[in-house]
Structure 1
Amino acid sequence: MSCPQCFSGHKNPDTPKGRVEKIHGLSTYIAEPAEGTPVKGIVIIVPDAFGWEFVNNRILADHYASAGDFRVYLPDFMNGCAAPVWMMESMGILTGPGHMLSKPYHLVCTAYSFITFLTLNRGSVTWPRITSFFKAVRENEGASLPIGTAGFCWGGKHVVNLADDAIKPSNSRPLVDAVFTAHPSNLAIPGEIEKVVKPISLAVGDKDFVLNLKGVEDIKKIWAGKPDVDTEVKIYEGAGHGFGARADPNTKEAVRQAGEAETQAVDWFKKQFTKVVY
């Protein structure tokens, strides 16, 4: 389950620079480092509700690739059923002042799309699709490279579950070597948090009502009891849900925090990838 905050935010005005290919059965946006630069690892993004075509998610992939020298995959894990981008505008109208005459219209449209998204992207449908893709990458181009994953909002729950290292591909290597998640939604605490055994980094705002500060403190306590697992939690003051993927490009503080979350992810993958030898 997601909440209305998972469908709010802002669109990035920049233009993505990567390419689209069919990878292991899924349409995938691919971003790579500059030509001639050795690839240090593969990062697979499990995006927010707006999916693989959302410009913000593609630009994020571009930034990871250029800053970390990673090959970045942003697959269509939602099989063409991502939330429509217009929902962000509708959510802004519903939660903002004015627009009283148009609010019923936006409420009906948003409710319909909200229910449709949740139905078509329920865990029993998307989890097998996600794990199949990760297995294929590990068994093929990622057999001798570190693999990291970054998950946002809807995707955050999935990458936390990938950190339990419960699924093994045919070469018996882990699906992922490192995990980063920003403002994940619908986490089962303590259940899913206790199962984490792979290095994991969390970015969350102190104004996030999806994963609130009590939940964050619970996570920190659980991970503190796992001395053999490399973990980190960074709290961004004043940031709300979605800040790492859907920051307001016209707000200086929001842009700064989104950039810091990007740096947190890239630095985390760099640190963890240096420990991996296959």
Structure 2
Amino acid sequence: MSCPACFLGAIHTGTPTGITTTLHNLPTYISLPPSPSVSKSTIILLTDAFGFNLPNSLLLADHYAVATGFRVLVPSWIPGGGVPLSTLSLMETMTTPVTPFYSILSHLKRLWAFVRVLTIVLPFAIRIRPAPKSILEFARAVKADLKEEGEGGRLGVAGICVGGMYATRLCVESAVEGGEEKLVDAQFCAHPAGLKLPGDVLEAVKRVPYSFAIGDRDFLKVERVEELQAALRREVGSEEEASYEVRVYRGVGHGFAVRASKEKKEEEEPAEEAARQAVEWFKRYL
């Protein structure tokens, strides 16, 4: 489900401007647009493995709220909470080649980091498999709220890394158990981890306007992405004919949309473009 790149990247500076409260039984970060919106639509953002421990996702939610004019909800969906920020430095140590190769101390540091990462990542993987029921329950409750408000509010879902897998799978769910009305009205995911391709995406695209962002250096190889694009064209038509898009960003790997280094132009520019991709998609369909 996860790879080393799921736990690598930069911590962004800044102070999230929203509030955290309990909503539908989950701690939830709520980001509102700076001025009243004419739309009652809402976006649910499912974070990467770090959850609330990493400010990046909350800052991204603030950006979505400002740029779209919609309310953005970030539920703390990971049972037991996200992985600690120390995982970033541990994974960096574990994946950095030893130079010089004969440095015994460096090899011992890598071994220690490897053991520590296992004690963090394995319990995390167990906690999120199978998919926490709270994700579907939360989304259905938010959808019900929008219907009660009765002002045409629609529900968008965005997912980052492992959150992208669950955002994709929400696309095939109904607004109420056993019902026919779809739960999600538009979806965006960036470098999802754990998807079954092309099946998961095909099923999502057949029901929901679906936007997908991936780097050409992702652990999901370009060849697999091309196979996905071919399957989509074969099953549902071209991007011009159907409501989906698959964008490949050059020169970046897994995690770029949320953990890119702002000090590296080659990472920051694709991250900003992926954020624009999400904003434009949601504004189009919500």
Say whether residues 1:36 and 2:36 are aligned partners. yes
* CA distance, structure 2, for counterparts of residue 252 and residue 80 of structure 1: 35
* CA distance, structure 2, for counterparts of residue 89 and residue 39 of structure 1: 41
Q: 1:191 aligns with which of 186, 196, 199?
A: 199
Q: 1:158 aligns with which of 158, 166, 182?
A: 166
Contact 2:168 2:201 in 1 (8 A): yes
CA offset at residue 206 of structure 1? 0.4
CA offset at residue 244 of structure 1? 0.3
Q: Which amino acid in structure 2 is aligned with residue 263 of structure 1? A: R
Q: Which amino acid in structure 1 is aligned with residue 168 of structure 2? A: V
* CA distance, structure 2, for counterparts of residue 101 and residue 205 of structure 1: 32
Q: Which amino acid in structure 1 is aligned with residue 79 of structure 2? A: N
User: Deviations for 1:6-44, whole angstroms, at most 9, x for unmatched residues?
Assistant: 111111012211110111110000101013343452000
Say whether residues 1:260 and 2:276 are aligned partners. no
Larger Rg: 2
* CA distance, structure 2, for counterparts of residue 4 and residue 229 of structure 1: 34
Moved over 6 A (4+): none
Look up the match of 2:58: 58
Look up the match of 1:214: 223
Contact 1:198 1:229 in 2 (8 A): no
Contact 1:178 1:269 in 2 (8 A): yes
Look up the match of 2:49: 49
User: Deviations for 1:183-211, whole angstroms, at most 9, x for unmatched residues?
Assistant: 011111132122122110010000101x2
Say whether residues 1:129 and 2:134 are aligned partners. yes
* CA distance, structure 1, for counterparts of residue 138 and residue 79 of structure 2: 13
* CA distance, structure 1, for counterparts of residue 168 and residue 242 of structure 2: 13
Question: Alpha carbons of 1:17 and 1:142: their partners in 2 closer, same or farther (altered >3 Å)?
Answer: farther
Say whether residues 1:103 and 2:113 are aligned partners. no
* CA distance, structure 2, for counterparts of residue 147 and residue 29 of structure 1: 16
Q: Which amino acid in structure 2 is aligned with residue 160 of structure 1? A: T
* CA distance, structure 2, for counterparts of residue 38 and residue 271 of structure 1: 14
Report how many residues are paired.
269
Structure 1, 188-197 or 235-244: larger mean CA deviation:
188-197
For 2:122, what is the secondary structure of its paired residue?
Answer: helix
Q: 1:244 aligns with which of 245, 253, 257?
A: 257
Question: Alpha carbons of 1:19 and 1:142: their partners in 2 closer, same or farther (altered >3 Å)?
Answer: farther
Q: Which amino acid in structure 1 is aligned with residue 184 of structure 2? A: V
- TM-score (normalised: structure 2): 0.89
* CA distance, structure 2, for counterparts of residue 84 and residue 239 of structure 1: 24
Q: Which amino acid in structure 2 is aligned with residue 226 of structure 1? A: V
* CA distance, structure 2, for counterparts of residue 252 and residue 205 of structure 1: 15
Q: Which amino acid in structure 2 is aligned with residue 234 of structure 1? A: R
Could you tell me the percent identity over the aligned residues? 36
Structure 1, 176-185 or 224-233: larger mean CA deviation:
224-233
Question: Alpha carbons of 1:70 and 1:142: their partners in 2 closer, same or farther (altered >3 Å)?
Answer: farther
Question: Alpha carbons of 1:113 and 1:151: their partners in 2 closer, same or farther (altered >3 Å)?
Answer: same
User: What is the alpha-carbon root mean square deviation over aligned residues?
Assistant: 1.7
User: Deviations for 1:138-197, whole angstroms, at most 9, x for unmatched residues?
Assistant: 111355311101111101111111222x32327853211000010011111132122122
User: Deviations for 1:30-71, whole angstroms, at most 9, x for unmatched residues?
Assistant: 101013343452000111111134200000000000011010
Gaps of 5+ in 1: 274-278
Q: Which amino acid in structure 1 is aligned with residue 226 of structure 2? A: E
More helix by share: 2
For 2:93, what is the secondary structure of its paired residue?
Answer: helix
- TM-score (normalised: structure 1): 0.91
Contact 1:42 1:142 in 2 (8 A): no
Gaps of 5+ in 2: 99-105
Look up the match of 1:276: none
For 2:197, what is the secondary structure of its paired residue?
Answer: coil
